[in-house]
Amino acid sequence: MLRIDQDIYDAIVAHARKDHPVEACGVVTGPEGSDRAERFVPMINAAGSPTFYEFDSHDLLGLYKEMDARDEEPVVIYHSHTDTEAYPSRTDIGLAMEPNAHYVLVSTRQHGNSDGPVEFRSYRIVNGQVTEEEVSVTARADS
């Protein structure tokens, strides 16, 4: 199960809406081994595509160096689908290289960058096997 606080959920959805019709992408980091999604890191889709996302290799290298220095790991890797459901494509599955990460997909196909509901789903992808998991959105602990 993915446990994520409302602020991070809202930030992921806002990023997906803002970048529509281009796929948005990013990472939420957390302390190594904790499975706690704590630090929202929006990234730029280097592909600039409505059907494909790609992290900029320089930005991604910088993020991994930063995570290493902070004893963090990627807890959530997210991107949006602009015209299809929030389910991993074959390309998404092939790119999934973090076996401990939650892969979040947000579909903006219904309302684009306007207000309205989005499809927000999370998956574990290990060795090409996709398993959907429940998402629990909680209030911030310090609220």
Do 40 and 28 meet the contact criterion of CB atoms below 8 Å apart?
Answer: yes
**How many independent structural domains does the chain possess?**
1
Residue 42, domain member (yes or no)? yes
**Predicted confidence (pLDDT) per residue in 69-110, tens digit:** 999 999 999 999 999 999 999 999 999 999 999 999 999 998
Residue 6, domain member (yes or no)? yes
Report the distance separating Cα 116 and Cα 70, nearest Å: 36
Residue 143, domain member (yes or no)? no
Whether residue 5 has pLDDT greater than 60: yes
What is the maximum alpha-carbon separation in the chain? 40
CATH number for the domain harbouring residue 78: 3.40.140.10
Residue 89, domain member (yes or no)? yes
| CA dihedral angle for residue 4, residue 8, residue 73, residue 48, rounded to 10 degrees | 130
- Give the pLDDT band (50/70/90) at residue 143: very low
**Predicted confidence (pLDDT) per residue in 17-71, tens digit:** 999 999 999 999 999 999 999 999 999 999 999 999 999 999 999 999 999 999 9
Range of the domain at 122: 2-138
Of 39, 42, 34, nearest to 13 (Cα)?
42
